[in-house]
């Protein structure tokens, strides 16, 4: 089973993504709008993949990804954001994100792309700190 954590401050995006994955028995999905809670969840659970927005309160995606990696999280991290691929987004990738999907196009295509990535990285992970 692919265990996914979705982090986004937009409740509508969380709902859409959860609806997209919840009917498929291959996926187990946790969601949160709170990056501090997301950090705690990533310490408690081994997520295969973390899907995160970049623009969030408390800390942006770069700081969030850096914090995940510092605490030993080895999950595959996908940034799914409306923020364009620029120098700030490149910093997030350099901080440890594995993939970026722009949220400015066709949601069906974006969700299909997410699912293709998830198929490729569906092997369980082990946190670095263990």
Please give the Cα distance from 65 to 91 (Å, whole number).
Answer: 10
Say yes or no: domain 2-107 is CATH 3.40.50.2300: yes
Spatial separation of the C-alpha atoms in residues 29 and 31, rounded to whole Å: 7
Q: Tell me how far apart the alpha carbons of residues 55 and 124 are, in angstroms, rounded to a whole number.
A: 28
- Radius of gyration of the chain, Cα coordinates, nearest whole angstrom: 13
Q: How far apart are CA 29 and CA 57, in angstroms?
A: 22
Whether this model's pTM surpasses 0.85: yes
Of the pLDDT bands very low, low, confident and very high (cuts 50, 70, 90), residue 121 is: confident
Tokens of 121: 């990285």
The model's pLDDT over 47-88, given as tens digits with 9 standing for 90+, comes to: 999 999 999 999 999 999 999 999 999 999 999 998 777 788
Q: What residue spans define the domains of the chain? A: 2-107
CA 31 centroid distance within chain: 10
């Amino acid at each position: 089973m692919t265990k996914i954590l979705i982090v986004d401050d937009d409740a509508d995006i969380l709902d859409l993504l959860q609806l997209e994955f919840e009917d498929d028995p291959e996926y187990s999905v946790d969601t949160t709008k709170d990056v501090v809670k997301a950090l705690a969840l990533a310490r408690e659970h081994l997520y295969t993949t973390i899907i995160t927005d970049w623009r969030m309160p408390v800390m942006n995606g770069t700081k969030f990804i850096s914090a995940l990696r510092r605490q030993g999280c080895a999950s595959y991290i996908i940034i799914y954001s409306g923020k364009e691929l620029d120098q700030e987004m490149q910093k997030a990738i350099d901080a440890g994100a594995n993939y970026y999907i722009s949220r400015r196009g066709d949601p069906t295509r974006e969700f299909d792309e997410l699912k293709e990535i998830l198929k490729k990285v569906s092997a369980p992970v082990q946190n670095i700190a263990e």
